[in-house]
Amino acid sequence: MDHKDTEMNEKGISSSTSGVVVQVREKKGPLRAAIPYMPFPVAVICLFLNTFVPGLGTFISAFTVLCGARTDLPDRSMCCVFWLNIAAAFIQILTAIVMVGWIMSIFWGMDMVILAISEGNKDQDVPQQL
């Protein structure tokens, strides 16, 4: 062990052999934060629908909010979050003509699947290693 590692250990700073936990929080806009945490199979169906009919999966995901799906907007009413998802679906449908909406729709569906996976991992209470 060289002099630098010895200094770090004496100061109480962890060396390279111990693990460091880093938590990163992404700041989301209101439309993106309105994406509901759905069960994994429903999220995959919405991704599939968004891939072939832009906005359709997003439109269907809006109704999962009315069924009690959680979002990252806890301070907003269920009705408001529902309409935010409907607005996102219409933006995707209207801009699909110039390919922007189609690409946005696919990314939206991927976010739904990612949120479903992260919600499933929270239920398992198993620590993840990077």
Chain segment 10-38, per-residue pLDDT in tens: 445 545 567 888 888 778 888 899 999 99
Instruction: At 98, give phi and psi (nearest 5°).
Output: -105, 25
The residue type of 110 is M
Whether the pLDDT of residue 93 is over 70: the answer is yes
What is the residue extent of each domain of the chain?
Answer: 28-123
Please state, for a pLDDT cut of 90, what percent of the chain lies above it.
56
Rounded distance between C-alpha atoms, residue 18 and residue 16, angstroms: 6
Place of tokens 């630098």: 4
**pTM of the prediction?**
0.72
pLDDT tens for 46-80 read 999 999 999 999 999 999 999 988 998 888 889 99
Place of tokens 């679906």: 89
Secondary element (H or E) of residue 55: none
